[in-house]
Chain A
Amino acid sequence: MFGKNDMNAAKYGSIILITFVLIAGLAIPLSPSPQSWLEFPIIPGLEEKARNILYHVPVAWTTVVAFLVGTFYGFRYLKTKNFDDDIKSVSAAGLGFMFCLLATITGAIWAKFSWGSFWNWDPRETSIFVLLLIYGAYFALRSALETEEKRATLSAVYSIIAGITVPFFVFVMPRIMSGLHPGAKGDPDGAGPVVQFKMSPNMLVIFLLGLLGFTLFFIWLFNLRVRLARLEYQRSAHHS
């Protein structure tokens, strides 16, 4: 899939980027009228909590990417019946589940500081929770199926079916239901799935670097998991 050099690039790239974002995100001070590159603006209403954007959003983004990758390979399996596609699908799903947990936790932390309580059932919060449930259901289904062929086929079908509902609760619900997240119906800046954060250029750069870092992190872990799963798969063939 990816060559060794690409993987090294992804590995080190992600470690460097994430570390940088972690430090920069926490260390750079806020000031009312930022002059130099080393200052963040104060976003009214968010202030210090704005730092969470740099962590929470990339992680949430990665879980969606993982889900799409998993569903894509599931779909490929249905066409090709090649178990390697199923291996990729499960590996992506496992990572997606982990990132989803992280997204939920970082989201809950932000919620506590921004709005007072850890959980409020606003549309975005509900969406990430539902994604968590989808992952749980996916793995429950897999463990209830014995034949490899059935397991691969039915879990691929389920992830596609669940995937069909994702556009609904990501794009449609925040419009219909008012919520706490920016971008919901009651937001004075306008409702929409992708929020225009008023970020200064330096914040934007760090944010995008974070996005890139987490994506590379996902690619690297995905590659590792797939290789490991392939080895286990071959080993179990020789024993049966």
Chain B
Amino acid sequence: MNLISLTSTGVSKEFNRRSIFRDISFSLKGGESLAITGRNGSGKSTLVKIICGLLSPTRGSVAYKVENRNIDVDAVKDYIGLVSPYLQMYDEFTGLENLEVLSRIRADRDVSREWIAETLTTVGLWERRNDFVRTYSSGMKQRLKYAFAMLHRPDVLVLDEPTANLDYEGIAMVEKCADRQRSTGVLIVATNDHEEATWCAQRVVLGDHTL
């Protein structure tokens, strides 16, 4: 785990000149965690995308530093693992193939077959690893997303709706994941659920934007 820090300064986003949120500022480094809460449609997923470098803010910026060096937005994704309802795996490949292919495209270092196997076991998909994702239930797809997110041992783990579609065991897996991430890296959780929000020390509330 690298010494990572991320700082959001005055991040605002508008679509069609309608403001989604304004002036979101926070600062996180290794060992810290942030919960993003708000009603449906308050822009949690949008903020998540901005944090992951997938969307540009209308104003403000998110700056990443790894060991005190500034990191370019394009390189940020190498340090981030994301679980999101908007992210899908490839249906026509198996769970195992998805991880192998995506890891190869990202040119991960230190991702061996053993590590992939271990990750799949952690998320509880080892038995179904050779089945096409097309055949997975929504809960299994969610578990696969966790495998994908954690595969490259990210310094920042971002979870948008962490326990969506998950059963009791799945939720336990996620909680363990979150625990581990909090101790060594940065954890960011976007959720409606009060329980999940308590996993994190800091909080950002996205609210009404009728200003």
Contact = CB atoms under 8 A, between A and B. Distances in A.
Within 8 Å by CB, do A and B touch in the complex? yes
Interface of A: 146-149, 237, 240
Given A147-B15, A240-B18, 5 more contacts: A146-B16, A147-B16, A237-B17, A240-B16, A240-B17
B125 to A, nearest CB: 36
A-B CB proximity, top 5 nearest: A148-B16, A237-B17, A240-B18, A147-B15, A147-B16
Contacts of B18: 240
Interface of B: 15-18
B208 to A, nearest CB: 16
A147 B16 CA distance: 6
Contacts of A237: 17
A146 B17 CA distance: 12
Contacts of A146: 16
A232 to B, nearest CB: 13
B56 to A, nearest CB: 8
Nearest to A83: B17
A149 B15 CA distance: 7
A147 B18 CA distance: 11
A77 to B, nearest CB: 14
Residue picked from B15, B16, B18, most chain A C-beta under 10 Å: B16
A240 B15 CA distance: 11
A221 B17 CA distance: 27
A147 B15 CA distance: 7
A217 B140 CA distance: 65
A149 B46 CA distance: 15
B55 to A, nearest CB: 10
7 contacts: A148-B15, A148-B17, A149-B15, A149-B16, A240-B16, A240-B17, A240-B18
Contacts of B16: 146-149, 240
Nearest to B18: A240
A149 B13 CA distance: 12
Nearest to A151: B16
Nearest to A146: B16
Contacts of A147: 15-16
Contacts of B17: 148, 237, 240
Nearest to B16: A148
B177 to A, nearest CB: 34
Contacts of A240: 16-18
A149 B14 CA distance: 10
B60 to A, nearest CB: 14
B101 to A, nearest CB: 29
A148 B15 CA distance: 8
Contacts of A149: 15-16
Nearest to A237: B17
A94 B95 CA distance: 51
Contacts of B15: 147-149
A164 B27 CA distance: 44
Nearest to A233: B17
A146 B16 CA distance: 9
A132 to B, nearest CB: 30
A148 B16 CA distance: 5
